[in-house]
Amino acid sequence: MKNSHESGWLEFLFPDKLEKGLLYFCAKGKKGAEDIINSKTIVKVNGKLMPIEGMKGVFGKCVQVTEEGDLPENTVMSISLPTHAKNILITHVMGI
């Protein structure tokens, strides 16, 4: 990935229908959400780019990716951290 602005992609499959259609991912540290948003992390849901500026931090270390709504079975959330975000460690994802 020479001269790339991405560090690669993490992809998470949610095979069942989510009750509320909410997706979150979390990073290590008390300011994990703030670090994720400030780093301009790239997030896609089912291939659709989700603007990081529209996401909100929750629980201090997590980012809420989607608003409550209807997501299909086999929803995929893809996350790519920029290469300069070496201090961010994704710890877990949640689908509700």
**Predicted TM-score of the model (pTM):** 0.86
Question: Can you give the three-state secondary structure of the chain, one letter per residue?
Answer: CCCCCECCCEEEEECCCCCCCCEEEEECCCCHHHHHHHCCCEEEECCEEECHHHCEEECCCEEECCCCCCCCCCEEEEEECECCCCCCCEEEEEEC
Banded pLDDT at 1 (limits 50, 70, 90): very low
Using only C-alpha atoms, what is the Rg of the chain? 13
Instruction: Write out pLDDT tens, residues 21-70.
Output: 999 999 988 888 988 988 889 999 999 999 988 899 998 899 999 999 98
Q: Which two tokens stand for residue 30?
A: 């008390």
| pLDDT recorded at residue 88 | 87
